[in-house]
Amino acid sequence: MSLPPEALATFTRLRPRLSRIAYRMLGSQAEAEDMVQEAWLRWAGVDHAGVMDGDAYLVRLVSRLCLDQMRSARARHETYIGPWLPEPIIDPDDSLEQGEEVTMALMLALERLSPLERAAFLLHDVFGQPFEAVAAALDRDEAACRQLASRARTHVRAARPRFPVTPDRGREIADAFLAAAHNGDLSGLRGLLAADVVLYADGGGKRIAVMNPVLTQDKVARFFTGLARKHDHVMPPVLWRGLIDGLPGYVTLASDGEVQSTALVIDGDRIVAVYITRNPDKLRHLVGLAGNA
């Protein structure tokens, strides 16, 4: 498919940003790639002489494609078996532009919003689009988009840690949690977990996982000590350590031979949420991962 050199260069330069927008809207890397590919096909058929701002056009195009996809995805999530988590994406420390960080905790908060609220918040607050551009992307007036973003902002504010940790401290706590969890160290786990900690595990009905969130320090600590006893306190192979959707975490090889990811929300020096992804459909891109453990 032939494109004018300038149009090809515009899409190539913008593709990483379009992929991030699509993933943050959908929570699925595979669906995000589909949306970007569809945008590419449509971009190839455009009369580029009539496009005044290629960047704005492509952001608008991907945003509208994602809105349609989000409406159908919402229905799928309502029938999902057990807790639904977005696909875990490994983030190198410098992979995001300033202001673009959206953690898994925030993405779960965004799941409770309408597709338009989510899109308005992401485009304006996360990706820095002016409300004029957001209005064009969502086919709404600016005032309505400001209201959408404001409502979304109120909902997601509570998901941000009050006292976020540095990357080094986050990794230190994640390493301590990994060791305590697999050693069955009940006292150590209690020392790491906040009183109101919550554990989510996404197996999608395809691997064993908790069907409902596990709440409170004592129950979460005992959950992991029980698993440690079941697996004879064997430390699993650690394939990768680092940021997962902006959160400290790690990828391990579980006892069933499948990979799983664990991401932690840390507020101050305490873990307030644990996100474990076990659904193999969401982990295919991590199979064979190694080298940063």
Q: Where are the domains of the chain?
A: 5-157, 167-286
pLDDT at 75: 64
Per the confidence metrics, is the pTM higher than 0.85?
A: no
pLDDT at 94: 41
pLDDT at 92: 55
pLDDT at 193: 98
CATH top class, domain 5-157: mainly alpha
Rounded Cα–Cα distance for residues 264 and 273 (Å): 6
Q: What is the pLDDT of residues 89-144, one digit of tens each?
A: 886 544 445 445 667 888 888 888 899 999 999 999 989 999 999 999 999 999 99
User: Which residues of the chain have a pLDDT value below 50?
Assistant: 93-96, 98-99
* Tokens, residue 153: 């902002």
Rounded Cα–Cα distance for residues 191 and 200 (Å): 20
pLDDT at 105: 81
pLDDT at 99: 47
- Asked if residue 159 lies in contact with residue 205, where contact means CB atoms within 8 angstroms, the answer is no
Q: For the domain bounded by 167-286, which CATH number is listed?
A: 3.10.450.50
pLDDT at 266: 95
